[in-house]
Every structure is written in structure tokens, then in C-alpha cells.
Amino acid sequence: MTTNTKNKIKVGVVGGTGYTGVELLRLLVMHPMAELRLVTSRSEAGLPVADMFPNLRGHTDIAFTVPDSTALAECDLVFFATPNGTAMTLVPELVAAGCRVIDLAADFRLKDSALWQQWYGMAHSCVDMLAEAVYGMPEINRAAIATARVVANPGCYPTAVTLGFLPLIENALVDDQHLIADAKSGVSGAGRGANVPTLFAEAAENFKPYGVEGHRHLPEIRQTLALSAGHAVGLTFVPHLTPMIRGIEASLYAVLKQSNVDLHALYTERYVNEMFVDVLPAGVTPETRSVRGSNICRISVFQPQQADTVVVSAVIDNLVKGAAGQAIHNMNIMFSLAETTGLQQVAMLP
């Protein structure tokens, strides 16, 4: 454990007991410029963090504490890895105290409070902050993230789907009223709480769609793509649960307005300066295992039979690029660090 904390970012984590929380802690304890000050949990207060998560043994001696806004306000940055609806109750006080915030839940992702209530089933208690909050996808909002007081970390599915569609939407190359996103996620995306559908005997050797009539990430994806298109887009989004722990693969379909475009060149040029987006060579398909434990999104683009349909495949680790890793990327931008700081882990194989 390092003891030299000079010039380090003083960090607090609210709600560090879930899969996103422990992934965030794993990245923070290895980050050379982050000083982890406190980790909160009402249910586990007093328990050493490393007792719950033995992978952190030897990296932190912090114990969980009850959330205390005064203590949190002494941090430079507070991450919320909490259920939806928690961050919005504490953020105004923290921001007023000069603390910056990254929320890994959905509290500040949607700009329309009525839409938020429709999809999340509760009234938004911090409507004034919705307009100010910056959607934390560095590939599209880097400049705004740098000066943001509140960053809304994107959802996992929206990260893969948006990065996959973005070059097509930005260049108005497809019929954006009939987009299709067929996405698959590992069970860790459902969280760490006890839940029958994610029990081993239920999820193993099984594959199923869910949320077909409407998933909470649908309005988030539509909102982001609409901003890029300059108008509302039409999207059918179907997520699936797969029998793996980590990973998301998004197969994306759209009809081209013109079929003589060099799509591989288009994607390569769009992401050439993005250190966490890897456009694979033409004809190579991405695999979720190639990004496991890393902050990379790998993308391939295809035009089967050179016809008018484009197929994009994007893979991410839902807990890293889809959550904690993207949050650390946002932190690096907010505090003028090199964007790759603490995020250069090579993916784990097998």
C-alpha cells in the first residue's frame, strides 16, 4: 500500500458492495493518482472491505462506513455505485461543498425527468441537476467531461450499442428510423443481489431474451443517438442473458442509404485517436473474452454480400468499459490526467 498521497485525488465510493463497486475498488487501489479515503455501506458498516472482497487484501485496509455527507464532502471526487435513486438525494449537497461526482447508476443519464420517472418508477428528486450533468462517454463528450461537476456514467448496453452505431449516425449513412440492436450480456450485469434467474442452475446452459417490450437502457441509447443524428431515432433493442460472468456483445443492424462506402475506413478514422476503442481488421470478428478485465471496446463492421445492410459487432466487459473502467476514464479527464492512467490492463485469457 502506498503512503505517499501528495497531489493525489481524494476519492470516496458510496455503495461499494456490488459487482460494479468491487470492480471500481479494484481499479482505484491500482490507480497511481487516486487516494481511496472511504467506502460506504449501511449494511456492512465496520466490516473491512478486504474481508468482503479478498481480491483487495493487501491493497486497502479501509472498512465500510455509514454514508456521511460531511466526510464525503472532504473528497475531491465521489463515485456512486448505488441503486438507482440514491445518488440524486446526496449530490446537491456534495456539489455545493465543492465535491465532484461520478454516478455509475442511472440518476443523471436521462435529461427528461418525466421520462426518467416512466422508466425507473420514481419521481426524480434532483431535477435541477439533470441539465448540468454531463453524459460520461469520452468518445463524444470529452471536453464537457473535463469541466463537469456531475458526470452520468453510461450504462453497459448503451456503451456498446452507441459506440457501434456512432460512425454511421454521425455521417447520416443509414436509415436511423429502423435501427436494430441485438445485445447479449453476462450475468454480472444483473448485479450481486440474490436473484433466481441468475442462479447457476438457472443461467448455466441457457440463453434467453428479456426486456423485449422495453428495457431501461432503451431511452438512454435513443437519447444519445438522437443528439448525434440531430433528430429522434427509431431503435429496436433486445437484450439477452448469456451463461457467462462478464461481457457484452452487441450485434447491430441498419440499412445503408448508399452501399459504396468503405465502412472499415470510416470506423478506423472515427476511432483512430480513441485509446479504448479498437477497430479490428476487416473480416475479423470480436470476442468477449478478448476484452475481459480491460477497458477496451472492440468493434468489427461488415457489409454482407455488399448489399444495403450493415452489421456491426461491438464487445466490451460490462463491468469495466461498461461501468467502472469508463468511470475511471472520466475521472482521469476531469482531473487532467493522461486518459490511460490506471487503465492499461491487458484482457485476461482464458
C-alpha cell at 283: 473480416
Active-site residue, 75 included: no
Are residues 161 and 314 in contact, defined by beta-carbon separation less than 8 angstroms?
yes
Q: Which amino acid is located at 56 in the chain?
A: L
Q: List Cβ neighbours of 106 (8 Å cut-off, separation of 6 or more).
A: 84, 116, 120, 152, 155, 216, 220
8 Å CB contact between 175 and 255: yes
Q: Which of 263, 38, 237, 218 is nearest to 116 (CA)?
A: 218
- 262, 256 Cβ separation under 8 angstroms: no
Q: Can you tell me the distance from the alpha carbon of 75 to that of 37, in angstroms, rounded to the nearest whole number?
A: 7
Three-state SS for 44?
coil
**Catalytic one of 75, 99, 126, 156:** 156
DSSP string, 66-77: ---HHHHHTSSE
Q: 188, exposed or middle or buried, with CB in 10 Å at 0-12, 13-18, 19+?
A: buried
Report cis status (omega within 30 of 0) of the bond before 48: no
Side-chain-side CA neighbours of residue 173 (13 Å): 23
The separation between CA 159 and the C-alpha centre of its own chain, rounded to angstroms, equals 6
Spatial distance between the Cα atoms of 17 and 147, rounded to a whole number of angstroms:
29
Closest CA to 320 of 152, 160, 133: 160
Q: Is 110 helix (H, G, I), strand (E, B) or coil?
A: coil
Are 94 and 113 spatial neighbours (Cβ–Cβ below 8 Å)? no
For residue 290, give the DSSP letter: G
Nearest to 243 by CA among 202, 212, 196, 211: 202
Q: Which positions are annotated as active-site residues? A: 156
